[in-house]
Amino acid sequence: MSVLPGPRREPRGTVRVVDPSPLNWLYITYNTVEEPVRVTRRGKVRPAAMSRYRWRDSTTLEIKVRSDNRFADGTPLTADSVRRAAEEQFRWESPHPPGTHFNIDRRSRVEVVDDRTVRLHLPAVDGLALGKLRATHVMSERFWRDLGFGYARDESGEGHW
Amino acid sequence: MIDAPGPWASGAFTLVEGHSRIDTEPVVIDGEDRTWLQTEDRSPTVRLHANRHYWDRRRGPRLAEVEFRNDLDRDRALDMVCDSVGEVDIVTEVPHAQAERVRRSRHARLVTVDAVRALAGVIDRDADGLPLADVRARRALNLAVDRAALVRDAFGGLARPLAGLTPPTLLTVAHRAPGRLRPYQHDPAEAARLWRLTGGSSRPVRLAALEPWAAVATFVAAQWREALGIEVQVSVVPVDRERETRRRLAAKEPREWDVLLLEQGSQSVDVPPLELHRAFVGRSGEFRAGPVDPTFERLFADLVAQTSQLRQVVAANRIDRYVTEQALALFLVAPKVLYAVNRDVDFDPYATSFELADTSVRDGHWSLR
């Protein structure tokens, strides 16, 4: 079986949805935004905006960003996009609405090694960091400039990621 | 969350109209640990268009447009998806009591998924006049519940008995092995014996439930009365009191209940304790009702210290086993999540979220005519 993508099937049709879930805000995010990882149909964390990862040591997580990824405005998604997403997140004490348990330590340092490689240097071991990347939304420069996570509305990203 | 439409990101769709956001209010749980109370704010319509730059061609997007209709309540939406074509294609979070109605529908089918969600009871281990600090009492509450009957009678079979707090799905098998956990058996005699050993209660047990789980509370209360011979007062937290109930619980303020039934999910199956066990038991747990448990904290720290996925599974298993043996919650069921879906829509649900990248419509769908 080929692992290469076939020709893109042209999107077609409209579906109308009524979603009473109180997490609808999150589902709108997950349908429109990518993170370094996503969660598969059965619930497993898998690479998304990144193509692969490895723990270089117990506190250094290295991420390889996809080479063929673009934002909807046509600009490329690069290692620097992931760096910006992480560092914007670290500006806030509690950015994620579920709570601080989704925080990656704010003292972490983000190193852009090259256009496709980012290293997250954690101050202490956090084996849950890979899953927490699900909450690290990778956004375009235009987003950070014009909207941000609550920045334009509330001038704060606290509780608004 | 995304406050306004724009080509902001690289997901399968782009938000082109409306918003679905939450207003948030922080609650300090412990030290620097916080959670956020959430109040929804949605525009009447939220519209997504396919992002043609999306890299994962095999996944999608297969739909040109998704329209979220926030102008309809769930009952009206169910009427529309079941009895008409073109108004509503998918209704999420269908109540279990409505499953049969969807099954009988001419235009819709019932789609279910083994979601990574647990319906469980928060046990107040600080409750005055009750022996809930005693593990024997908490085990008694668990042993008194007939989960098979609960699944049958309250969920129409569309739930799975819970053993510990890790919902049983295909991908959590490893988390629950080795020495695979079994649900507490329904053993009224042993439950009564353990309850008596604790000295019993000097007042009624107050069992509360968030509104969707009112029938479950009634069921559990009846089983406790019968097995333990205790008085149980049942209360339902109305929707307009849910936020305050959650706030008081998260802030560790005095509570108006001794056991509170609620549902909690996990965003992945990789490390269920992050969002489940930690929430109910951990120092940072928004649902913890009782003292911090040093053993749990040590086990959770061991989980955090693992970067190997295999070791994380082993550590998660230890946590689930400890929480179960100590009966640190009332373990009930993992409800399936139900969807009513138009028959010309190919929708395969996700276990932890609601995503439409790989949803498509068939040739006969109203939007293609």
Query: Tell me, what's the ipTM?
Result: 0.96
Q: Phi, psi at residue B136, to the nearest 5°?
A: -65, -35
**Mean pLDDT across the stretch B113-118?**
97
Yes or no, beta carbons of A43 and B56 under 8 Å apart: no
**Structural domains of chain A, count:** 1
Q: Does A3 touch chain B (CB under 8 A)?
A: no
Question: Domain segments of chain B: what residues?
Answer: 13-114+339-368, 117-335
Tell me, what's the pLDDT at B175?
72
**Mean pLDDT across the stretch B198-211?**
96
Count of CB atoms situated within 10 Å of the CB of A96: 26
Judge whether B40 and A99 are in contact, CB under 8 Å.
no
**Mean pLDDT across the stretch A30-34?**
98
**Mean pLDDT across the stretch B62-77?**
98
Q: Does A33 touch chain B (CB under 8 A)?
A: yes
Q: Which residues contact A97 (CB under 8 A, 6 or more apart)?
A: A26, A159, A160, A161, B1, B22, B24, B36, B38
**Mean pLDDT across the stretch B220-231?**
98
Yes or no, beta carbons of A31 and B13 under 8 Å apart: yes
**Mean pLDDT across the stretch B219-234?**
98
Domain at B117-335, CATH from 1.10.230.10, 3.30.450.90, 3.30.470.20, 3.10.105.10: 3.10.105.10
Q: Provide the 3-class DSSP secondary structure of residue B192.
A: helix
Yes or no, beta carbons of B87 and A16 under 8 Å apart: yes
The position carrying tokens 């959430």 is B38
pLDDT > 90: what percent of chain A?
Answer: 94
Is B12 exposed, middle or buried, given 0-12, 13-18 or 19+ CB atoms closer than 10 A?
A: buried
Residues of chain A contacting residue B58, judged by C-beta atoms under 8 Å apart: 5-6
Average per-residue pLDDT in chain A? 95
Tell me, what's the pLDDT at A2?
41
pLDDT greater than 70 at residue A8: no
Tell me, what's the pLDDT at B178?
59
What top-level class would CATH report for the domain B13-114+339-368?
alpha beta
When CB atoms are compared, the residue of B58, B60, B351 closest to A41 is B351
pLDDT greater than 80 at residue A6: no
Tell me, what's the pLDDT at B132?
98
**Mean pLDDT across the stretch A41-55?**
96
Judge whether B231 and B242 are in contact, CB under 8 Å.
no
pLDDT, tens only, B259-300: 999 999 999 999 999 999 999 999 999 999 999 999 999 999
Nearest chain A residue to B170 by CA: give it. A42
Residues of chain B contacting residue A29, judged by C-beta atoms under 8 Å apart: 1-2
pLDDT band at B181 (very low <50, low <70, confident <90, very high): confident
**Mean pLDDT across the stretch B116-128?**
97
Tell me, what's the pLDDT at B100?
97
Judge whether A112 and A80 are in contact, CB under 8 Å.
yes
Domain range spanning residue A57?
24-154
Judge whether B169 and B309 are in contact, CB under 8 Å.
no
pLDDT greater than 90 at residue B83: yes
Residue B250 Cα, gap to closest chain A Cα (Å):
11
Judge whether B346 and B361 are in contact, CB under 8 Å.
yes
Judge whether A148 and A161 are in contact, CB under 8 Å.
no
Average per-residue pLDDT in chain B? 96
Residues of chain B contacting residue A16, judged by C-beta atoms under 8 Å apart: 67-69, 86-90
Does the residue A120 lie in any domain? yes
Q: Do domains B13-114+339-368 and B117-335 have the same CATH topology?
A: no
The torsion angle over the Cα atoms of residues A97, B21, B272 and B259, rounded to 10 degrees, is 80
Is A79 exposed, middle or buried, given 0-12, 13-18 or 19+ CB atoms closer than 10 A?
A: buried
Distance between CA B352 and CA A72 in Å, rounded?
A: 25
pLDDT greater than 80 at residue B180: no
Does the residue A2 lie in any domain? no
The position carrying tokens 């902001």 is B8
Judge whether B265 and A27 are in contact, CB under 8 Å.
no
- What the block records as the tokens of A27 is 């589902």
pLDDT greater than 50 at residue A1: no
Of the candidates A129, A135, A145, A161, which has an alpha carbon nearest to the alpha carbon of residue B305? A129
State how beta strands B108-113 and B117-123 pair: unpaired
pLDDT, tens only, B314-345: 999 999 999 999 999 999 999 999 999 999 99
Tell me, what's the pLDDT at B215?
97
pLDDT band at B347 (very low <50, low <70, confident <90, very high): very high
Judge whether B2 and B42 are in contact, CB under 8 Å.
no
Q: Phi, psi at residue B315, to the nearest 5°?
A: -65, -40
Tell me, what's the pLDDT at B169?
84
Tell me, what's the pLDDT at B174?
73
Nearest chain A residue to B269 by CA: give it. A43
In sequence order, the β-bridge partners of residue A24 are none
Judge whether A15 and B67 are in contact, CB under 8 Å.
yes
When CB atoms are compared, the residue of B7, B170, B307 closest to A42 is B170
When CB atoms are compared, the residue of B15, B66, B171 closest to A42 is B171
